[in-house]
Structure 1
Amino acid sequence: MKTVTGLFDNYDDANDAVGELVATGVPRDDISIVANNATGWHKEDDETEAAGDAATGAGVGAVIGGAGGLATGLGLMAIPGVGPVVAAGWLAAAAVGAVGGAVVGGAAGGIIGAMTNAGVPENDAHVYAEGVRRGGTMVTAKVDDRLAPNAEQILKQYNSVDVAGRRSEYEAGGWTGFDPNADVYTGDDLQQVRRGRDL
């Protein structure tokens, strides 16, 4: 098994990539999505029965569903250093310390620890976590080795960001790594980030 990860500036691109991963044979239970929700784009009322099941005991990893992606299994939660997110899947459960379906606080290592334990290089894990903190959406999938090249190509074709380029962009602003104790971005902060990227 190999873990493949993509960071997206647009949630719809990430969700489309998830749908394509499922269509090519990656089991839904092996896919996670974590999207920043500081702007409140996903409301509590939007939660589905599957997301409710996760909160009451089915486990975040069991909520992936829907024909095209993960939208029917999204649940609201908070990840230390990232803030409010909409998430589903095994990575989300590990990042917030879900035990038996109940969120019990930050897991050892938080989102960085969850990613590195799954095989994501630590240097990249910091960029992915910071990308979500700054308004992005991350898709992570555990795939059979034979499916890994195809899964990586799918993430690229749906506009995933270049991780090395994004790292350079962050470092140019003085960033040295993801800090789980950093202030979370507000909706206004995220709009400024997006405006700056559109220039």
Structure 2
Amino acid sequence: MTRTLTRSYGDYETARSVVERLEEAGISSSNVSIVGRNGDGETNAEEGAGIGAGVGGAAGLLTGLGLLAIPGVGPVVAAGWLAATAVGAVAGAAAGGLVGSFIKEGHDEDEANYYAETVRRGGSVVSVRAEADQVLNVEAILDGAKPIDRTERTAQYRQEGWSRFDENADPYDREATASGRMTPPVV
């Protein structure tokens, strides 16, 4: 039986290194997805088109990275089945955009909202479809990279007034929020 395992990371580079380790461990790139903000979130089309080519010529999932604009999140780099599902959802083929993509893969609504909000706030998410005999190895790789503690981060978001991901919200500007130019969204 296939199980979807997902972790969020504070930065794109960590998530990218997790994807590389998963592929080195023999996990098929067709079972791995990554969605995140690369760098400061100021991603442009030329950068998005060249990101896959700029990962050192590696084969696999990372060579297929592309730019995707997700409502409420803004520009992200994404690859894999999760990105394809989110594109279909954004285009109206499925309900719920990024949140709907996570729910479709077996996450409950709270988890799905957390993962989408984490990407919105500049983090990155790696999600893996793992067969029963791969689960322990995949979990060790995902957890070995020190993912964000979902319980603690969700509590932090809620303390700031957040209740769920809002795809109609403006993309989150971490620098503006930190400097006091804007307040965190209350949803």
Q: What TM-score do you get using the length of structure 2 for normalisation?
A: 0.82
1:97 equivalent to 2:97? Answer: no
Tell me what 1:180 maps to. Answer: 167
Q: Could you say if the C-alpha distance between residues 165 and 88 of structure 1 is closer, same or farther in structure 2, counting changes exceeding 3 Å?
A: same
1:171 equivalent to 2:171? Answer: no
Q: What are the Cα deviations for residues 86-106 of structure 1, in whole angstroms up to 9, with x where unaligned?
A: 1111101111217xxxx7357
Tell me what 2:63 maps to. Answer: 72
Per mean C-alpha deviation after superposition, the further-off stretch among 35-44 and 145-154 is 35-44
SS in 2 for 1:39: coil
1:140 Cα deviation from its structure 2 partner: 0.7
The answer on whether the counterparts of 2:12 and 2:39 sit within 8 Å (CA) in structure 1 is: no
Tell me what 1:14 maps to. Answer: 15
Structure 1 counterpart of 2:81, one-letter code: W
1:33 Cα deviation from its structure 2 partner: 0.6
1:5 Cα deviation from its structure 2 partner: 0.5
1:158 Cα deviation from its structure 2 partner: 0.8
1:188 Cα deviation from its structure 2 partner: 3.3
Number of residues of Structure 1 aligned to a counterpart in Structure 2: 176
1:126 equivalent to 2:113? Answer: yes
1:114 Cα deviation from its structure 2 partner: 0.8
Q: Structure 1: where are the runs of 5+ without partners?
A: 52-64, 194-199
Q: What are the Cα deviations for residues 136-180 of structure 1, in whole angstroms up to 9, with x where unaligned?
A: 011111111211122122111112111111111111111111111
1:84 equivalent to 2:71? Answer: no
2 CA distance for matches of 1:172 and 1:145? 37
Tell me what 2:183 maps to. Answer: none
1:152 equivalent to 2:139? Answer: yes
Q: What are the Cα deviations for residues 59-84 of structure 1, in whole angstroms up to 9, with x where unaligned?
A: xxxxxx96376442211111111111
Tell me what 2:6 maps to. Answer: 5
Q: Could you say if the C-alpha distance between residues 70 and 186 of structure 1 is closer, same or farther in structure 2, counting changes exceeding 3 Å?
A: farther
1 CA distance for matches of 2:102 and 2:133? 21
Moved over 6 A (4+): none
2 CA distance for matches of 1:49 and 1:133? 19
1 CA distance for matches of 2:39 and 2:11? 14
CA RMSD of aligned residues (A): 2.8
Per mean C-alpha deviation after superposition, the further-off stretch among 147-156 and 128-137 is 147-156
Tell me what 1:115 maps to. Answer: 102
Q: What TM-score do you get using the length of structure 1 for normalisation?
A: 0.77
SS in 2 for 1:97: helix
SS in 2 for 1:115: helix
* Percent of residue pairs bearing the same amino acid type: 44
2 CA distance for matches of 1:192 and 1:90? 36
Q: Could you say if the C-alpha distance between residues 159 and 70 of structure 1 is closer, same or farther in structure 2, counting changes exceeding 3 Å?
A: farther
